[in-house]
Structure 1
Amino acid sequence: MIIDVHAHVLLPRVEEAVAGQPGLDVARELDARRNGPEALAVNGPMVRARIPLLTEPARRLSAMDRSGVDVQLVSPSPSHYHYWAEAELAQRAHRLANELTAEHCAAAPDRLRGLGLVPLQHPDSAPAILSHAMEAGLLGVQISSHAPGRELSDPAYEPFWARAEETGAVVFVHPFGCTLDERLNRWYLSNTVGQPVENAVALSHLIFSGVLDRHPGLRIIAAHGGGYLPTHLGRSDHAWRTRPDAAGCEHPPSSYLRRLWFDSLVHDPHVLRELVRAAGADRVVLGSDFPFDMGTSDPVGALRAAELPEQEFRAVGGENAAALLGFSS
């Protein structure tokens, strides 16, 4: 069984729910500054061309058949985070996102499983909305690398992490945007450089703050292979050993790779092999970023290109995800 853990759904009714609300225009202006005009000119037509794949289960299933994927773990497009929204609107939008994602997956429950959203900008609401996602039949939630003014290490998120551990929820860390702002607003650096940076920063906060020490049962998947983190943790290990201000976690930072999962979407077979070496073949799962242009339409082919031993190929291709998600491969 081939299982793709990184695939998205577009939810127009969520966008209708937030349309015209205070704060939306400011958030869009910030996004425009961070990405730059050239990227925005490409993004719009790219997404519009993929709307059928993002919204119609039959089209999704046909594409899965063509790429040899048996099961997708479907999460809302990160554009639906709306971390600018005030508390009541955020709860309403995220509950709606959870329900609509579950409805989309219900069209083919043997092949589509889902993740929902939680309002990270309102930490006190996040545990209840996570429970709502699970009650809707989803396997967990997708979150960004941070919320405005809060890193994932913020103590305010302790109840959320505790609820995720208690329920066995999958938490998919998928950045949206990059806080390096206009420094990356040309040549699509906001994505090609910014996303790996955001992954590395978010996971470093989880590691160094002791979140993974306090909640060893968390089931966290990092998008985009975890960004720069997995293959560059030697520097963090050195700092942990030599500087008291870098010793926030109980063990060397690199050891926490064994407590996380990483998708395979790194766009380079050499990097994928190194990710498998660094994290372990049992900690890497297949990811495509379906159906966006920064993903791959042939995730199995990309995995084959890494020339892993057959046992590791089977593990990354589906066995690891089957064990993580709790169903038979």
Structure 2
Amino acid sequence: MSTPTVDVHAHVLLPEVEALVAGLPGHGEAKALDARRNGPAALAVNGPMVRERVPRLTDPTVRLAAMDAQGVDVQLVSPSPSHYHYWADEETARKVYLLANESTAAHCRAAPDRLRGLGLVPLQHPDLAVHALDHALEQGLAGVEISSHAPGRELSDPAYEDLWARAEETGALLFLHPFGCTLDERLDRWYLSNTVGQPVENAVAVSHLIFSGVLDRYPGLKVIAAHGGGYLPTHIGRSDHAWSARSDAGAGCAHLPSSYLKRLYFDSLVHDPHVLRELVRAAGADRVLLGSDFPFDMGTEDPVGALRAARLPRTDFDAVRGGNAAALLSLE
């Protein structure tokens, strides 16, 4: 039997989560911050774009038809990052992750042979993170989706050690997908909030995992960085130089930063075949997974075609197309 084609970067919209948080203290401020970061021109485009895609984001039948058209056999479905709600207090955060995990699992149960899911953990409340991860796994989800940081906390924060330990112990997947960039209004025109902001946040978050020694302490962690890991994999030489040349840069991790790329996973969504080839070279063909950002406009409608354009050797092409993800997800 041939290897299935597996898309690890696909989203589900959960209206019930938004209904839960609507009107709560802090929600309005969070929406205002998001609006400020994106700017009015981006918001004017985002609304109609999302509305047009609601059926693909919510209806499993429509999703499966779109997957068939793309030649995708299996999707790893994660909640839209707009559902993180890291502003929420503990009680609300618990309700959000319970509902998000259960709703995503229900969506995937419509086609369990073709849809696998990821839940959410409230990074703003590290004490809840392990409980949220366990709950996601109890729902039959493969792991959880996390952002690049929470307010006042980077992924290198010692408060997350229990989460990394539990994820390593259980084999859970951690899908690192930013939402919002702290460069704020500097990126509020021309959709720089996404085109520059997302790769910056990916690079910062992965650098925190590397330089703080998280990947030394938990070598079995299964982290998938969205958007090809952002700017980091193609600019990792600068990190290696700093690690070698400066005592402060080299103090937290045991090995050259570039070596940790081979301990992480990256999706293929870089929108440039030359960058994708470099990502495969830097991380290894066994560490890159097909990703489309289904069904948003910053994704690709033809993830297999985008992969084919990189002109990888056949064995590497098949590994990225689905072999690596099939092994991660223990697909038959």
Query: Which TM-score bucket, shorter chain as reference?
Result: over 0.9
Partner of residue 147 from structure 2, selected from 131, 144, 149: 144
* Percent of matched pairs sharing the same residue: 78
SS in 1 for 2:311: coil
Q: Distance in 2 between matches of 1:46 and 1:266?
A: 21
Alignment of 1:72 onto 2:69: no
Partner of 1:182: 185
The answer as to 2:106 corresponding to 1:106 is: no
Amino acid in the other structure paired with 1:286: L
Partner of 1:13: 16
Determine the C-alpha separation between the residues in 2 that align with 1:240 and 1:274: 21
Is it true that 1:51 corresponds to 2:58 in the alignment?
A: no
Displacement of 1:327 in angstroms is 1.9
Give 1:203 shift. 0.2
Determine the C-alpha separation between the residues in 2 that align with 1:308 and 1:216: 28
Query: Would you say 1:95 and 2:98 are equivalent positions?
Result: yes
Q: Which runs of 5+ in 2 are unaligned?
A: none
| Pairing partner for 1:220 from 220, 223, 226 | 223
The C-alpha deviation readout for 1:170-203, integer Å capped at 9, x for no partner, is 0000000100000000000000000000000000
The amino acid that maps onto 2:13 is L
Q: Quote the Cα distance in structure 2 between the aligned partners of 1:93 and 1:191.
A: 25
Letter in 1 for 2:297: D
| Partners of 2:94 and 2:175 in 1: CA distance | 19
Number of residue pairs matched by the alignment: 328
Pick aligned residue for 1:299 from 295, 298, 303:
303
Letter in 2 for 1:196: P
Residue 265 (structure 2) aligns with: 261
1:227-268 per-position Cα deviation (integer Å, ceiling 9, x unaligned): 000111101101101100001100000000010000000000
3-state SS of 2:85 partner: coil
**1:326 CA drift (Å):** 1.7
Q: State the match for 1:171 in structure 2.
A: 174
1:41 counterpart = 2:44: yes
Report SS of the residue matched to 1:217: coil
Q: Could you tell me how far apart the structure 2 residues matched to 1:134 and 1:297 are?
A: 30
Aligned: 1:127 with 2:95: no
Residues of 2 paired with 1:216 and 1:324: CA distance? 15
In the TM superposition, residue 127 of structure 1 has moved relative to its aligned partner by 0.3
The CA distance in 2 between the partners of 1:10 and 1:69, in whole Å, is: 20
Does the residue aligned with 2:122 lie in a helix, a strand or coil? coil
Partner AA of 1:263 in structure 2: D
State how far apart, in whole Å, the 2-side matches of 1:287 and 1:262 are.
9
**In structure 2, C-alpha distance between the alignment counterparts of 1:259 and 1:281, rounded to whole Å:** 12
**Normalised by the size of structure 1, how large is the TM-score?**
0.99
- CA displacement, residues 265-304 of structure 1 (integer Å, 9 cap, x when unaligned): 0000010001001100000000000000000110001011
Indicate the residue corresponding to 1:279 in structure 2.
Answer: 283
- 2:32 equivalent to 1:29: yes
TM-score (norm 2): 0.98
CA distance in 2, matches of 1:125, 1:312: 39
Partner AA of 1:152 in structure 2: L
Amino acid at match of 1:60: R
